[in-house]
Amino acid sequence: MGKGAMSHGVSEEGEPENMAAWLLGVNTLKIQPFKLPPLGPHEVRVRMKAVGICGSDVHYLKNMRCADFIVKEPMVIGHECAGIIDEVGSKVNTLVVGDRVALEPGISCWHCNYCKAGSYNLCPDMKFFATPPVHGSLANQVVHPADLCFKLPENVSLEEGAMCEPLSVGIHACRRANAGPETNVLVMGAGPIGLVTMLAARAFGAPKVVIVDVDDQRLSFAKAIGAHQIIKVSTDMQLKENNKRKKLVILKLLETILWWQSLGFT
């Protein structure tokens, strides 16, 4: 896709072409036409209004790979996204044109044992935005299953809607750690995932949320948005034993968390 397409932004039918950010090589992005598939009866066409740049996108940009996923041909990047419904399929009755939605980026097969059991996040045939060879959502428009588009409340902006996907990582971590009103939480790392995990822990009712990092700017931001305590560490520091006899949950977070880890594989 994209090769040999017209570059002046108008399709053969005279309609504005759908454009997207294509990863063509190391540190090489180019805005090129991105042809959409026909709209299925259970799908919607979404006009993208906000798309986040994930750590995985940066890995693909710098290395053309993220862990075992290797970009072997041009690929549209982006998977943290929200937009406005422009068209609905013939059998869609839960969304209408104009709805503001956040998109769940993984499309399961709907037929395997995991999907039938309701654990579709573990589907072995999952197709995930911007995971080779599946294209992503950093485009003018995308076509997506209506069941994976979630209407945003009026008090949630489209930019905030695009952050629902990374926020889900933090929520999942807190659920697995049983964070709650009787649990103090220590978050290791004040990067984007660490920050949303800190916010999730506060929403879960944790009485004290401490976040640790080596970067002053990140720690200051964490404090500004709600961390009860921030701790700066260095690589040569030795941790001292905490004498307080309080239950502590440690959520160890990497700057980039592989998506299958966040969905329950580990």
Spatial separation of the C-alpha atoms in residues 257 and 169, rounded to whole Å: 9
- Is residue 1 situated within a structural domain? no
pLDDT score at 105 = 97
Whether the CB-CB separation of 244 and 237 falls below 8 Å is answered with: no
Whether the pLDDT of residue 261 is over 70: the answer is no
Q: In terms of pLDDT, which residue wins out, 227 or 4? A: 227
Spatial separation of the C-alpha atoms in residues 103 and 123, rounded to whole Å: 18
Spatial separation of the C-alpha atoms in residues 111 and 108, rounded to whole Å: 8
Task: Mark whether 183 and 260 lie in a shared domain.
Answer: yes
pLDDT score at 262 = 45
Spatial separation of the C-alpha atoms in residues 123 and 113, rounded to whole Å: 8
pLDDT score at 238 = 55
Task: Mark whether 153 and 27 lie in a shared domain.
Answer: yes
174-194: per-residue pLDDT in tens?
A: 999 999 999 999 999 999 999
Q: Residue 52 is part of a domain; what is its CATH number?
A: 3.90.180.10
Mean pLDDT of 241-256: 49
Cα 66 to Cα 71, 78, 257: the distances in Å are 9, 13, 11
Q: Residue 191 is part of a domain; what is its CATH number?
A: 3.40.50.720
Print the domain residue range for 253.
167-265
Task: Mark whether 141 and 201 lie in a shared domain.
Answer: no
36-77: per-residue pLDDT in tens?
A: 999 999 999 999 999 999 999 999 999 999 999 999 999 999
Overall domain count for the chain: 2
Task: Mark whether 150 and 190 lie in a shared domain.
Answer: no
Confidence of residue 234 (pLDDT cuts 50, 70, 90): confident
Mean pLDDT of the chain: 87
Sequence-ordered alpha helix ranges (H) in 133-178: 158-162, 164-176
3-state secondary structure of 25: strand
Task: Mark whether 134 and 176 lie in a shared domain.
Answer: no
pLDDT score at 248 = 54
pLDDT score at 250 = 57
CA 189 centroid distance within chain: 18
Among 8, 6, 11, 34, which Cα is nearest to 21's? 34
190-229: per-residue pLDDT in tens?
A: 999 999 999 999 999 999 999 999 999 999 999 999 999 9
Confidence of residue 235 (pLDDT cuts 50, 70, 90): low
| 38, two tokens | 């026909």
Cross-strand bridge partners of residue 150: 102
| Angle (nearest 5°) at CA 237 between 232 and 239 | 90
pLDDT score at 16 = 76
Indicate the helix (H) or strand (E) that contains 195: helix 192-203
Task: Mark whether 64 and 114 lie in a shared domain.
Answer: yes
Mean pLDDT of 245-250: 51
pLDDT score at 236 = 60
Of the residues 162, 179, 211, which one is the last residue of a structural domain? 162
Spatial separation of the C-alpha atoms in residues 97 and 77, rounded to whole Å: 25
Of the residues 162, 182, 202, which one is the last residue of a structural domain? 162
